[in-house]
Copies of this chain bind each other. A is one copy, B any other.
Amino acid sequence: MNRTTGSVEASSFPLTGDFLAGRLRQNLSLDDLKYIEALVETVSDHGDTARLLARGTKTDCSTILIEGYIFRTIESAGKRFITGIHVPGDFVDLHGFALKRLDHNIDCVGPAKIALVPHERLTAAMADDPHLGRLLWFSTLLDAAVHRQWIMKLEQLTVPRRIAYIFAEIWRRLEMVGLGDETGFDTPLTQNNIAEMCGATAIHTNRAIGKLRAEGIADFRRGRVEIASRETLESFADFEPDYLYGDGDLSFR
| Contact string against B for A residues 215-253, beta-carbon threshold 8 Å, 1 for contact and 0 otherwise | 000000000000000000000001010110100011011
Bound Cα distance A62, B151 (Å): 23
Bound Cα distance A138, B144 (Å): 13
Determine chain A's interface SS by DSSP, over half rule.
Answer: helix
A35 in the interface, Cβ–Cβ < 8 Å? Answer: no
Contact A141 B250 (CB under 8 A): no
Bound Cα distance A183, B195 (Å): 38
A154 in the interface, Cβ–Cβ < 8 Å? Answer: yes
Contact A76 B126 (CB under 8 A): no
Q: Select A84's contact among B76, B148, B198, B243, beta carbons within 8 Å.
A: B148
| Chain A interface, number of residues (Cβ within 8 angstroms) | 54
Interface residues of A in 28-58 (CB under 8 A from B): 55-56
Given contacts A144-B144, A149-B74, contact A98 B138 (CB under 8 A): yes
Bound Cα distance A24, B9 (Å): 39
Q: Select A199's contact among B79, B83, B84, B155, beta carbons within 8 Å.
A: B155
Bound Cα distance A151, B151 (Å): 5
Bound Cα distance A84, B150 (Å): 12
